[in-house]
Chains A and B, each alone.
Chain A
Amino acid sequence: MAEARRRTWLPATLGGRTAFWLVVALMAVQAAGLTIHALDRVDLQRWIHAREIAGRAFSAWRAAVLSPPDRREQMLADLDLPDAIQAEISRTPLVRQGGPPPPPEMIRLFRLDALSSGPPRLRPREVRLGPNRPGGGFQASLRLPDGEWLNLRVQMPPPRPWHSATFLAAFLVMTGAAILLILWAVRRLMRPVRLLAAAADRLGRDVNAPPLDEAGPSEVATAARAFNQMAERIRRFVADRTQMLAAIGHDLRTPITRLRLRAEFMDDDEQRRKMLADLDEMEQMISATMAFARDDAAAEPASPIDIAALCRTVVDEAADARPELAEKITYEGPERLTARARPVALKRALANLVSNALTYGGAARLRLSTGEGGMVRLEIEDDGPGIAEAEIERVFQPFQRLEESRNRETGGTGLGLTIARNILRAHGGDVVLRNRPGGGLTAVASLPG
């Protein structure tokens, strides 16, 4: 797990990513929809405006035609034309003869071709049309019967696509609802994946973890079934191996017992002592191997135990076993600290750590405290050389012993740390080793309180 994760701005979880892309897609679709809507609306607005303006322009023309020349100005003023239309009576036309015509879409929009239709009485004598330069629209000069011109300057009002506030609010609410729906659906969709991950995690801790529920949609059911079959195969494999080791351990019991009895009949005291010591070592190795193989920690039920008393027992037994180091074996911590644990297994784990501290570090200072979140923290400190950082995880692997300890003939199987870690992990805790800056090693074990 040393390699750094590839940096990414995407959310970390599959669910998060799925939701992210769905929301992005939703946004794109919404944006497109919104654009279409806006364009459509702008079109409609233009059309309505054009109609209205055309109508007003026509009324301006009617007013001009129908009123006597001296009252025309007044009549036009009374019409109260909107800002978009400027109308004036003039002797000269606004639009030059032979200038460019207004854009064809303007002609279509304002139905400008209809100007020269209508009853002859109202028809202008001459119509000149041209574009309205700044701002768009058009200009028209219509000649009145008496030769004066009505000059019209018509502007298109700027389009207002976001005219309605309620529309925007409704749109936002809809988008929000869609996003919530996406998040909910993705969570539901990811549930089987989460369950599978949790089951795999449980299996990693305990091969006898209960199987996955094989119900649900067919893909999920298939995955669950495959997972359960895999778990079953692993279980069988572990069981076979365990049984084999247990059988070996069982079969070795008889010859060791016989040898011990035989040693009692040896005359040479020195040889007998050595033989018994060898047999003790053999028994230790077998019992460690069996404890490792059978994973006793998992079988023992957890119950409330006083961790402080357990620490004292471990420390006192270590001091009894190595009276020469008794001074250097200490306990520091509360008088009483209750937690749920498997007493035999936990004691074994602590004894292994203390024994390492004594064998390789010449001292064992056990400290008990409660850390954050009610975690129980156990530290075992020694005064030894520590372990090279590169090896500090490797020593947890079964049968791994460092070169120096192999040469030193300290005996040992290389299972002590493996078993200690297995036990603490089975409790939901862990154990790690740390070199202290000033020298010496600290084993830190943690345990949920």
Chain B
Amino acid sequence: MEPAPHILVVDDDREIRDLLSRFLEKQGMRVTAARDAREARKLWPLGRYHLVVLDLMMPGEPGLDFARWLRSQSEVPIVILTAMGEETDRIVGLELGADDYVAKPFNPRELLARIRAVLRRANGEGPSKEPPAKVIRFAGWTLEPARRRLLNPDGAEVSLTGGEYELLQVLVERPNRVLTRDMLMDILRGRQAGPFDRAIDVAVSRLRRKLEDDGRNPTLIKTVRGGGYVLAATVERG
């Protein structure tokens, strides 16, 4: 049994801090809360944190500056809370190396799901120890994680649903590796707010369509006999 993960919550609203701490503790985590970036800097050396939940909209030192400082200190996973619609903050945050974001006002269960997914990745699931890639290229396609967008070989943006994006991300993180349906379900369940009850096969066939991969004779996302998928492409990260 792993020890309870220790989370540092940085948010300027006392009520949210308290409620969120109680909520996460109820889910079996240890929580330390900080009022602002200054307090968080003081608390940082005093504990070993597995993850930081950081509100970007705080009085005093901007959340982004603190995130930058934090990254210079350690590899600790960061989940940022952004204002809805504030695209730029989110993009800068993710480019700085935040691992995920949730728009405020957030749904606590969605936040919990994101926290769990990020923790799981940090625990050696997947290649998340590498610095976050700005662009990921495969078979002429380009994935920009910070903007959560996919560009086709002509440079035009190809829109993806949330599920398609998550699936594609999982696939490009593990190219040329067979992923069974169960593995995919397992990885993806944590990422989705609601239950990921869409059959994986549906998600795959939708994604193939977007990638212009012929469903009957796929060359990019190949079906493996016995139930599984593999992304057959060289993936470049940069």
In the complex, A258 has a CB within 8 A of chain B: yes
Flag if A304 contacts B156 (CB, 8 Å): yes
Q: A84 vs B161: C-alpha distance in the bound complex, in angstroms?
A: 103
Q: When A312-B210, A336-B212 are in contact, do A254 and B159 touch as well, CB less than 8 Å?
A: no
Whether, in the assembled complex, B20 has its beta carbon less than 8 Å from a beta carbon of chain A, the answer is yes
What distance in Å separates the Cβ of A1 from its nearest Cβ neighbour in chain B?
34
Shortest C-beta distance, B122 to chain A (Å), equals 24
Alpha-carbon distance A79/B6, docked complex (angstroms): 138
What per-residue 1/0 map shows which CB atoms of B9-28 lie under 8 Å from chain A? 00001011001101100100
* A290 engages B85 (CB within 8 Å): yes
A-B contact pairs, 25 of them (CB 8 A): A254-B16, A257-B13, A258-B19, A260-B107, A261-B19, A261-B20, A261-B108, A265-B19, A287-B84, A290-B84, A294-B85, A303-B156, A303-B157, A304-B156, A306-B152, A306-B159, A312-B206, A312-B210, A313-B159, A313-B161, A316-B164, A317-B161, A320-B161, A336-B152, A343-B149
Contact A305 B83 (CB under 8 A): no
Given known contacts A258-B13, A290-B85, is B19 in contact with A335 (CB within 8 Å)? Answer: no
Tell me the bound Cα distance from A343 to B104 in angstroms.
22
Other-chain residue from B22, B87, B104, B212 in contact with A335 (beta carbon distance below 8 A): B212
Q: How many residues of B contact A (CB 8 A)?
A: 37
CA A265 to CA B109, docked complex, whole Å:
12
Interfacial residues, chain A to chain B (CB-CB below 8 A)? 250, 252-254, 256-258, 260-262, 264-265, 276, 279, 283, 287, 290-291, 294, 296, 300, 303-306, 309-310, 312-313, 316-317, 320, 335-336, 338, 343-344, 347
Q: A260-B107, A304-B156, A306-B156 are in contact. Are A287 and B85 (CB under 8 A)?
A: yes
- B107 contacts which chain A residues (CB < 8 A)? 260, 276
Can you name 8 extra interface pairs (CB under 8 A) apart from A261-B19, A306-B158, A306-B159? A257-B106, A258-B19, A261-B20, A264-B109, A305-B157, A306-B156, A313-B164, A343-B157
User: How far does the alpha carbon of A303 sit from the alpha carbon of B152 in the complex, in Å?
Assistant: 13
Q: Are A264 and B161 in contact (CB under 8 A)?
A: no
Q: How far is the CA of A337 from the CA of B123 in the complex (A)?
A: 42
Interface string of B156-193 (1 = CB under 8 A from A): 11111111100000000000000000000000000000
Interface assignment of B41: CB less than 8 Å from any CB of chain A: no
Q: Which residues of B contact A296 (CB under 8 A)?
A: 85
B157 touches A304 (CB 8 A): yes
Determine the distance from Cα of A320 to Cα of B163 in the docked complex, in whole angstroms.
10
Q: Is the CB of A257 within 8 A of B104?
A: yes
Q: Closest CB of chain B to A384's CB: distance in Å?
A: 25
Report whether B154 and A304 are in contact in the complex, using a CB–CB cutoff of 8 Å: yes
Give chain B residues whose Cβ lies under 8 Å from the Cβ of A310: 159
| Partner-A contacts on B (CB < 8 A) | 13, 15-16, 19-20, 22-23, 26, 57, 83-85, 87, 104-109, 149, 152, 154-164, 198, 206, 209-210, 212
Q: How far does the Cβ of B33 sit from chain A's closest Cβ, in whole Å?
A: 13
Q: How far is the CA of A300 from the CA of B147 in the complex (A)?
A: 13
| Max chain B C-beta neighbours (<10 A), residue from A257, A258, A276, A335 | A257
- Whether A264 touches B108, Cβ cut-off 8 Å, given contacts A304-B154, A309-B159, A338-B154, is yes
Give B22's nearest chain A residue, CB to CB.
A265
B155: which A residues are within 8 A, CB to CB?
304
Minimum-distance CB pairs A-B, first 7 = A261-B19, A256-B105, A304-B156, A257-B105, A313-B159, A305-B157, A310-B159
Q: Does A316 lie within 8 Å of B161, measured CB to CB? A: yes
State the CA gap A347–B149 with chains docked (Å): 13
Smallest beta-carbon distance A273→chain B, Å: 12
A259 CA / B16 CA spacing, docked (Å): 9
Smallest Cβ-Cβ distance to B203: which chain A residue: A316
- Assembly CA distance A276 to B206 (angstroms): 31
- Measured CB to CB, the closest approach of chain B to A85, in angstroms, equals 95
Q: Are A261 and B158 interface neighbours, CB within 8 A?
A: no
Candidates A253, A291, A313, A335; contact of B160 at CB < 8 Å: A313
